[in-house]
């Protein structure tokens, strides 16, 4: 029995390149909208439901398989339920590393090491992580890193070039004279140029 299927009845509207939620269950609080889905926190729980847009519902099954494969690893949320167009996972309280940069929150080398450890563990389980970026890395108040948005963990890339490039940039970030806070506009611009001229892991 699917306990959370009732929450997956969400209506979306597309306007140009953007997608908006026009109707959702009263117990859902919109947490964010991405390229393929909207994420809602379920009222009075420590869970979120990720509801995929109509053209991307196939990703729900793909992500469910990945979360089940990673079950028990401490750097990944737990999967509670999956349906035709949704998955239900742990709500992770914290800030993305992207938000850390825009708010001037120090990104410690230990956080990078945690990500590396998570990727190594995933590869040992036969997955091939890719498209790891600042928006899908969450830092909790306790200093733990979680990885989310795992649909691209089965794309056959044995090296995540994007993550390796981010680590190279981190070497400069750590230098004393480098800024520790950046505008969202600047970071988005850099990401656009990177995807356009260097490497787009979504292709």
Residue 14 Rama label (left phi>0; alpha psi -120 to 50; beta): beta
The catalytic residue among 131, 149, 160, 200 is: 131
- Beta pairing partners, 177: none
Which among 26, 58, 30, 62 is positioned nearest to 151, based on CA atoms?
A: 62
Run of H or E residues at 101: helix 97-103
Question: Active site includes 131?
Answer: yes
- Taking alpha carbons only, the member of 150, 151, 146 closest to residue 74 is 146
For the residues of 106-160, what is the DSSP string, one character each?
---HHHHHHHHHHHHHHHHTT-B-----GGGEEE-TTS-EEE---TTTBS--SS-
d(CA 107, CA 45): 29
Q: Which residues are catalytic?
A: 131
């Amino acid at each position: 029995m699917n306990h959370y299927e009732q929450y997956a009845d969400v209506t979306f509207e597309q306007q140009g390149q953007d997608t908006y939620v026009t109707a959702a269950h009263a117990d859902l609080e919109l947490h964010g909208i991405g390229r393929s889905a909207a994420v809602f926190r379920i009222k009075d729980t420590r869970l979120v439901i990720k509801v995929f847009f109509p053209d991307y519902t196939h990703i729900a099954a793909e992500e469910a398989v990945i979360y089940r494969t990673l079950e028990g690893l401490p750097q990944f949320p737990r999967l509670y339920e999956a349906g035709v167009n949704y998955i239900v996972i742990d709500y992770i309280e914290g800030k993305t590393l992207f938000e850390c940069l825009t708010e001037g929150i120090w990104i410690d080398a230990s956080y990078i090491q945690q990500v590396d450890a998570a990727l190594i563990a995933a590869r040992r389980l036969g997955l091939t992580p890719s498209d790891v970026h600042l928006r899908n890395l969450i830092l909790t108040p306790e200093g733990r890193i979680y990885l989310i948005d795992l649909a691209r963990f089965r794309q056959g890339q044995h090296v995540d070039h994007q993550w390796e490039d981010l680590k190279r940039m981190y070497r400069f970030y750590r230098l004393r004279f480098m800024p520790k806070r950046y505008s969202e506009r600047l970071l988005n611009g850099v990401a656009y140029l990177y995807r356009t001229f260097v490497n787009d892991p979504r292709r």
